[in-house]
Amino acid sequence: MTTSTLTTVLMPIALGVIMLGLGLSLTIDDFKRVLLFPRAVLVGLLCQMVLLPAVCFAIAHGFGLGPELAVGLMLLSASPGGATANLYSHLARGDVALNITLTAVNSVLSLFTLPLILSLSMRAFLGEGRMIPLQLDKVIQVFAVVLVPVAIGMAVRGRAPATATRLGRPVKILSALFLLLVIAAAVIKERANLAGYFTQVGPAALCFNLASMSLGYFLPLLARLPRRQAIAIGMEIGIHNGTLAITIASSPLLLDSTTMAMPAAIYSLTMFFTAAAFGWVVNRKPEAEAEAA
């Protein structure tokens, strides 16, 4: 299979399968749960939608990233949390129900906020003349590739829960394989420049990852949310849907830039290790007070 086939055919399919898996895990109650802890959801959305892009913008400027790499990092910041955040939150004793709710809400809202943040980032880093517009038809394509599989998955979950449960595990395995293939496709296409990309954007991606988890953890604590919810938000903010960012950046139907995909690819290779370390650090102290709360 050629690299062109990987980017043109595999990436939309991969994203569709991953979004289907997300839909199979969601119910209408996950959205209704916002009413149970509105303050936690609002704090999480504030971190994800407002503060995180601002932090990412500052990091991109501070590390002096090239224009396309800077846009790629901003694209990652605008992507919603990944479903893997739920697993890491569970292992770190976070509030998994909050994770599921944030993933559901973020996934829907990002359909509107992601094109906006991406457009503003291109204007800021590429300039008017070099701006790659995300036209209406491309926005509609993102809607179709992301929203339709989620809707199908939720419909299956709502009408045939047993079927959704049976499909859940194989779809998750398939999603993980697709994620590896998507990253491999981006790496293969840019293999000649890979070492340079690691040098250029690796430190910035790591800094952004650590800043994301720190912001997602400490701001909720400052807002006097329970520690379990702070852990959940930290994982949600720190583990991004790198596959979505890579697909939008690399697909010939969308931005068609593997350079823009590199920050998300490098981030995806490191975030699981930093998330594991984050989970260990936040669980070093006894949780008696947090559990009592």
Q: Which letter does DSSP use for residue 80 in this model?
A: P
Cα 140 from Cα 254, distance rounded (Å): 11
* More confident site: 104 or 288: 104
Cα 283 from Cα 56, distance rounded (Å): 27
Nearest Cα neighbor of 193 from 242, 257, 259, 245 is 259
pLDDT at 256 over 50: yes
pLDDT at 293 over 50: no
Provide DSSP, 255-293. T--HHHHHHHHHHHHHHHHHHHHHHHHHTSS--HHHHH-
Q: Place 1 in a pLDDT band, splitting at 50, 70 and 90.
A: very low
Share of the chain above pLDDT 90, in %: 19
Domains assigned to the chain: 3-283 (1.20.1530.20)
pLDDT at 255 over 50: yes
pLDDT at 288 over 50: no
Cα 261 from Cα 1, distance rounded (Å): 20
240: β partners: 81
**Which pLDDT score, from 0 to 100, does residue 95 have?**
84
81: β partners: 240
**Which pLDDT score, from 0 to 100, does residue 289 have?**
45
* More confident site: 258 or 137: 258
What is this structure's pTM? 0.74
How many of the other CB atoms lie within 10 Å of CB of 288? Answer: 8
From the centroid of its chain, how far is CA 124? 22
90-108 pLDDT, tens digit each: 778 888 778 878 877 887 7
**Which pLDDT score, from 0 to 100, does residue 225 have?**
92
Q: Place 292 in a pLDDT band, splitting at 50, 70 and 90.
A: very low
Give Cα separations from 110 to 20, 40, 244, 260 (angstroms): 17, 18, 11, 18
Cα 23 from Cα 154, distance rounded (Å): 5
How many of the other CB atoms lie within 10 Å of CB of 19? Answer: 25
Q: Place 259 in a pLDDT band, splitting at 50, 70 and 90.
A: confident
pLDDT at 169 over 60: yes
Which residue's entry shows tokens 């993102």? 142
Compute and round to an integer the Cα radius of gyration of the chain. Answer: 18
Q: Give the mean pLDDT of 44-66.
A: 92
Mean pLDDT in the chain?
78
